[in-house]
């Protein structure tokens, strides 16, 4: 289990000194529970690891965009890495200074770019010629200068799931450094009267556990940035993105020390300001999805533990074949046999875990799906008209409601039935 979630002397699963069973009884299930203490500690550990290079840290809101989580990290000095106009509004609402917001993503709309410029954010990472032209046009109409970094694609393929690998030229991300494409575009934006060149950005993917892809990508970025500087072009910032993975099976805290040493070795005395955009590595192991057993069903080949959480609450196992440990909230007995932990949704792919050794369980028993703090609630839906799980955060010994679970009446209130003849 993660360092934030431990068993007390009575064997109960706890977070921040509070029993998860008590939290589930108070707030209901399914329910996301975050350790604010753990999130704060992991952010501080990451910031300390990149402090030798004076790294500026922007938390990737796509991993967990709960306002309470963003506000907690902002209180620790974190900026925000956003990928939509909605995330821009979230970052500002949570107290992130506009100057500490970086806007990434390949498909920023005219309205989103305009909102970012109106807010005065610190950096827009452009990913195509068309986007650079759009930013220039929108900035000119407002009479402002847009701070633009160019996201480049250095063609590095990390060992991660294909759906979250973004560093190869075959993907939609960034402008290729091959055949002078990125250099030509950077020269163009550097000469644009409505753009202030902010530097270069790279992001090769997510859930990367090996440091070698980072080393190859960062070295290529440094070489490219140095070459542009050699032409006399201003390249103040190298934005290194995120991507540091977590150990989902062991559920242990990520050690940022080796990553920090790698960055220091590559960029020491380079003269570039460095930016970082961690997400998963800060929050994943500091969250759990609480659920209760509805029924136990013995199939022909295995046991099915049917619970009240489902793929609409946590999509990662279905979408990415992701592993999440599943632990009883009560003192754990000996393993009884293999079981699948499944939800009520009408899909064969609606499972939270498969072929797990589980203790004896009964109706009403509580379970925790671990390492669910990243890409959990943010990817939830109301599929099958199921309101997605609520969210709470335990911080300094108190449990705070971040977002209550909506009810079906609230889901229906969002819709309109047209007049039918």
Task: Report the catalytic residues.
Answer: 346
As given in the structure block, the two tokens for residue 51 are 């402090």
Residue 414, preceding bond cis, omega within 30 degrees?
no
As given in the structure block, the two tokens for residue 389 are 């799980």
Task: For 175-217, give the secondary structure using H, E and C.
Answer: EECHHHHHHHHHHHHHCCCCEEEEEEECCCECCECCCHHHHHH
Any idea how long the chain is?
A: 421
d(CA 403, CA 243): 27
DSSP state of 1: -
Helix ranges, 305-415 (H): 316-320, 408-413
- Decide: residue 304, CB within 10 A, 0-12 exposed, 13-18 middle, 19+ buried: middle
Q: What's the sign of the alpha-carbon dihedral 205, 174, 106, 89?
A: positive
Nearest alpha-carbon partner for 206 in 173, 239, 163, 236: 163
Residue 59 CA, chain-centre distance (Å), reads 8
Residue 305 CA, chain-centre distance (Å), reads 29
- Asked if residues 124 and 104 have their Cβ atoms less than 8 Å apart, the reply is no
d(CA 146, CA 140): 9
């Amino acid at each position: 289990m993660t360092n934030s979630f431990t068993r007390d002397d009575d064997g109960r699963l706890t977070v921040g000194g509070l029993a998860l069973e008590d939290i589930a009884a108070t707030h209901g299930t399914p329910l996301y529970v975050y350790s604010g203490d753990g999130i704060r500690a992991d952010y501080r550990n990451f910031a300390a690891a990149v402090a030798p290079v004076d790294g500026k840290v922007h938390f990737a809101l796509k991993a967990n965009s709960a306002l309470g989580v963003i506000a907690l990290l902002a209180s620790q000095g974190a900026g925000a890495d956003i990928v939509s106009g909605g995330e821009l509004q979230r970052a500002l609402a949570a107290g992130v200074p506009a100057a500490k917001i970086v806007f990434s993503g390949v498909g920023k709309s005219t309205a989103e770019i305009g909102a970012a410029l109106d807010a005065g954010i610190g950096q827009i990472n452009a990913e195509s010629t068309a986007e650079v032209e759009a930013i220039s046009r929108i900035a000119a109409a407002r009479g402002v200068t847009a701070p633009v970094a160019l996201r480049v694609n250095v063609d590095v393929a990390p060992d991660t799931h294909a759906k979250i690998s973004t560093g190869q030229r075959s993907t939609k991300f960034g402008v290729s450094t091959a055949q002078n494409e990125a250099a030509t575009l950077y020269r163009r934006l550097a000469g644009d009267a409505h753009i202030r060149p902010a530097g270069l950005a790279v992001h090769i993917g997510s859930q990367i556990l090996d440091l070698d892809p980072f080393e190859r990508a960062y070295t290529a970025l440094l070489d490219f940035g140095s070459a542009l500087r050699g032409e006399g072009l201003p390249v103040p910032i190298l934005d290194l993105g995120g991507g540091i993975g977590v150990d989902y099976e062991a559920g242990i805290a990520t050690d940022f020390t080796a990553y920090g040493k790698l960055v220091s070795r590559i960029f020491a005395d380079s003269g570039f300001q460095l930016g970082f955009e961690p997400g998963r590595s800060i929050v994943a192991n500091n969250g759990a999805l609480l659920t209760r057993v509805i029924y136990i069903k013995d199939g022909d080949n295995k046991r099915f533990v049917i619970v009240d959480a489902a793929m609409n609450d946590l999509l990662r196992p279905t979408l990415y074949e992701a592993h999440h440990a599943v632990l009883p909230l009560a003192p754990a007995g000996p393993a009884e046999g293999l079981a699948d932990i499944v939800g009520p949704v009408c899909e064969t792919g609606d499972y939270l875990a498969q072929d797990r050794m589980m203790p004896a369980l009964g109706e009403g028993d509580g379970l925790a799906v671990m390492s669910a703090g990243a890409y959990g609630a943010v990817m939830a839906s109301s599929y099958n008209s199921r309101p997605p799980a609520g969210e709470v955060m335990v911080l300094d010994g108190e449990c705070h409601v971040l977002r209550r679970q909506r009810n079906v009446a609230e889901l229906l209130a969002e819709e309109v039935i047209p007049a039918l003849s």
